[in-house]
Structure 1
Amino acid sequence: MSERVTETYNQQCLNGKTGLLHAMARAEFPPLFHESCGHRLLPRPFFIDEPQMRGFAADIRSIFDLLTQLPDRLFGGDLDAYCKALGIPERQAALMCRFSDGEPVPYGRADIYHDGTSFKLLEFNVGSELGGADRAEIQRALLDVPDFRDFAEEQRLTYVHTGERIAAALRTAAAPLTDGADPVVALVEGDGGLAPYLHLVRSFQEMMQRLGIDLRVGEVSQIREQNGRLLLDGTPVDVVLRYFSAAQTVRTPGGEESIEPILRAHEEGRVVLFTTFQSSLYANKGCLALLSDERGREAFTAAEQDLVDRVLPWTRELTPALVEHCREHREQLIVKPRADFAGSGIHVGWELTDLEWRQVLDETAGRGFIAQERVVPRREPVVSPETGRTEDWMAAWDVFLTPDGYAGSHIRALPYGEGAVVGMGANPACRTSGPFLVPA
């Protein structure tokens, strides 16, 4: 179904339907969103069958449940042993385990490829330090463009607005403090951490304020404590939306002491920390290796094993014992650090020579890296408004997850063949868009 909608959309663009061809350029986006990424928008949205997307989102929720059960399933509930297996340093582990009682909040973003048949999970960013949520404004703005709105109505297209789902999650989390009123939310980064992506944060803030959430932005040292309340910009805060990480905290001199007022206020019920460092226990890429590894399969039911095999490509901790296998399968493997993000530290086997690959393996084996099977993304045809020609792109999709389930998606894309890591910060040729759901 979605292939038919894509073909219909592209054909109308090629046949002179300029309203569709230029819909993205004619859409009126919020000012800070436009300033942030208006110059990096793909000419069209993408389309995906709704049952397929919602079914995969349900699988991602099940994967989340399995990840959060790994300490019990594989380590007898010993969190220290679990953290050591993932190479988490002791000071970071102490922060992560501080709020380990109770169920982790199902909140995060799964990064995925579509291989032409199904979606595959590449990484799972569990926790509150998420980017891309503001891209739901793309679909919202496109529906205000008359020609696109007509097309969407003809095809009965829908979408899930990520910002709306996050706003609902924050209201629910804050309810014990606000008695149902809209909360004041402080998005808090580590000191010095905001500058590189402040434009993205401001766009997110703009969206949340439109949705009725008073979202303030600041860094840890800007949080004050007065009369039992935490304040940012002199305003009492109900929710701290955590963007500072455990790794960042322990790297900063006096980092643990600087966040202590926030952690203590959460423990005493004076503020809600969303999410706690507990989430970080399951964000390490080594968790996916634990799920995929044959040695732990007896800890999972047959249905759970089928789920992992269906959703997750072959993923293993890169140990010295695995080097020879990886040398023989260079063109099918990618190597990633367990704990980094945004595409940093990645080595792509099929882009390296045999000698370069051997050097990578020798330098990374046993040093906190995983090896993962290559997923070849399908080609996504896009009609260029500049040339009038159809060009192939490769897309990284995602699935946002909140306690209410599937919370929308956005797209990052590169011209096909112009790189293996599809990331807005990793390649200036990368563009962004949003997907619409095609009904069954």
Structure 2
Amino acid sequence: MTLLSRTYADLCRQGNEELQHEELRDAVARAALPPAFDTAWRRHLLPQPWFVQEVEVRSFAQDLDGLFDLLVSLPERLFDGDAERYAKELGLDPRHAALLRRSAEGRPARLGRADAYHDGTGYRLLEFNLGSEVGGMDMAVCNTALLGVAAFADFAAAHSLAYEDTAALLAADLRERARPALAGGAAEPVIGLIEGNGGIGPYGTLMRAFQEAMAAQGLELRIGEVGQLRTRPDGKLSLDGAALDLVLRNFGASQLLDDPAGMAAAEQLFRAHDAGRTVLFTSLESGLYAHKNALGLLSDPRWAGAFTAAERALVARVLPWSRPLGGGAPAALLDACRERRERLILKPGAGHGGLDTFVGWECTDAEWRAALAVAGERGYLAQERVVPRPEPVLDPATGRAEEWIAALGFFLTSRGYAGAHARANRADGGAIVGMSSNPDTRMACVFTHP
């Protein structure tokens, strides 16, 4: 554990002459959160922030920057630039692959979230989610609100706490990307935060919290679904009559493919982007590199010759043992996976939130054999287990410190590292730390310390 998390828990429980421990203990509950964020997240918040060491975060973020460059170079390095061969190797069906390449620019925007565990020695990457649809980019609102609680502000000053405001850094990227499409004389872009058809129902609360966070950065976001977009005579898209300079994509390719009206509705979006009238940010191209099997290609020894010694060292430093399973997987690899059940987890290549994942150490041998059969048919990624380091978290109701584990989400923008958030479970709460698969998961903002 970090010394600071123990210090924080002790201060919350005992207090001292300088800090009112009751106020520090209840800092998250006392924090004055903006209304939409409060509605979306208050009940899901951990009762304290997560603390990480600045030097470790910066080092890991630098490695993530390098890993992003390796990921987007895979088609050229391994398949002579043939995107179709690359997509086939990932296990994508032709229709899905073609959609991901629609309006592609050859290199996706550097925007995403890398999820990682700290195993006690350093951060190990679990998955690299690329594209504008990643969640959590408004979590720094919680950092700001906590600093409005006097006892926490004193603690932050005493321990030199800091954080990066992801929303502020993203806002700078959005202004830059929208500039070519701005109407003459406009000072700020009008942005559509667009979901797939039917997506506002389940995700509207989260979208409004994000809209609120971006409004604090001076940006106007209008919420809608792809089927509500219209093309104006000048080729620009509009939403409810308002011309859009940029569409911030909150939907994935699978939502379009699963929706009979989705593809037709999205086609006008692609046309407006190609014509330079309304910018699509980010393009669906990000999905070619967010696919988990892309990580498997980085660590698969069959492709080792395509990377320099320094690049191989970077992959080994950041990524646990990972191998793509599919039709072309060697029999020896499947045999090794059967034998290493207690050390492996199987993840769907295009999955999210821990859904449809098979956890080897929670399976019987028979269940694991069946899981491997499914993984081979559907093109899963086999990845070595990373055991996260537990941290103490004080329960304000009982006054007892309990052990929790967290998956840290590190954000990247064109400006590099752009802050972090944490998804946390009790250490005995199961293998998957994610809101979609575990209702006991809690969110936390992240502060760095020296």
Q: Into which bin does the TM-score normalised by the smaller protein fall?
A: over 0.9
Partner deviation per Cα, 1:68-109 (whole Å, 9 max, x = no partner) = 000001101111100111111212222222333443211111
Aligned twin of 1:240? 247
Consecutive unaligned residues in structure 1, runs of 5 or more: none
2:262 corresponds to 1:262: no
Compute the displacement of 1:416 (Å).
Answer: 0.7
Show the counterpart of 1:20.
24
- After superposition, residues 369-384 of structure 1 pair within 5 angstroms as 369-384=380-395
1:124 matches 2:131: no
* In 2, Cα distance between equivalents of 1:320 and 1:361: 13
Shift of 1:264: 0.7
- Secondary structure of the 2:347 match is strand
Counterpart in the other structure of 1:353: 364
1:71 touches 1:78 (CA, 8 Å); kept in 2?
yes
Deviations 1:148-185 (A, max 9, x none): 00111111111001111111110111122337822111
Aligned match of 1:59 in 50, 57, 63? 63
Give the match's secondary structure for 2:2.
helix
Task: Give the conservation status (yes or no) of the 8 Å contact 2:226–2:262.
Answer: no
TM-score normalised by the chain length of structure 1: 0.97
**Distance of 1:44 and 1:296 partners within structure 2:** 43
Q: Which residue of 2 aligns with 1:219?
A: 225
In structure 2, the residue matched to 1:111 is 115
Aligned residues, how many? 438
| 1:152 aligns with one of 146, 156, 167 | 156
The 5-angstrom pairing of residues 311-322 of structure 1 reads 311-318=318-325, 319=329, 321=331, 322=333
Q: Pick from 105, 124, 142: which aligns with 1:138?
A: 142
Letter in 2 for 1:285: K
Native 8 Å contact 2:227 2:262 kept in 1: no
Q: Take 2:318 and 2:51, find their aligned partners in 1: how far apart are those partners?
A: 20
1:311-357 deviations in Å (ceiling 9; x for gaps):
00000012362221111111100001111111111000001111211
Matches within 5 A, 1:180-195: 181-195=187-201
Alpha-carbon deviation of 1:246?
2.1
The answer to whether structure 1 residue 96 and structure 2 residue 100 are counterparts is yes
> Partner amino acid for 1:312?
L
Counterpart of 1:244 in 2: which secondary structure? Answer: coil
Corresponding position of 1:7: 6
Runs of 5+ in structure 2 lacking a partner?
16-20
Aligned residue number for residue 300 of structure 1: 307
Q: Report the 3-state secondary structure (helix = DSSP H, G, I; strand = E; otherwise coil) of the residue aligned with 1:125.
A: strand
Give deviations 1:259-309, integer Å, cap 9, x for gaps.
111111111110111011221111111100000101101100000000000
Contact 2:197 2:262 in 1 (8 A): no
The amino acid of 1:33's aligned partner reads F
Contact residue 293 and residue 315 of structure 1 kept, 8 A? yes
Quote the offset at 1:206 in angstroms: 1.1
Asked if 2 retains the 8 angstrom alpha-carbon contact of 1:320 and 1:365, the reply is no
Which residue in 2 is equivalent to 1:399? 410
C-alpha distance in 2 between matches for 1:259 and 1:390: 50
Give 2:74's aligned residue. Answer: 70
Q: Which moved more, 1:171-180 or 1:182-191?
A: 171-180
Correspondence for 2:212? 206
Partners of 1:291 and 1:419 in 2: CA distance: 28
Q: Please give the root-mean-square deviation of Cα atoms over the aligned residues, in Å.
A: 1.4
On the 8 A contact 2:189/2:219 being kept in 1, the answer is: yes
The residue number in structure 1 matching 2:202 is 196
User: What is the CA-CA distance between 1:128 and the residue it aligns to?
Assistant: 1.2
CA separation of 1:180 and 1:124: change in aligned 2, threshold 3 A: farther
In 2: Cα distance, 1:180 partner to 1:195 partner: 32
Q: CA separation in 1, counterparts of 2:233 and 2:432?
A: 48
TM-score, normalization by structure 2: 0.95
Residue correspondence of structure 1 range 12-51 to structure 2 within 5 A: 12-16=11-15, 17-51=21-55
Cα separation, 1, equivalents of 2:132 and 2:293? 19
Contact 2:103-2:270 at 8 Å conserved across structures? no
- For 2:440, the equivalent position in structure 1 comes to 429
Provide the secondary structure at the position in 1 that maps to 2:139.
helix
Amino acid at match of 1:9: Y
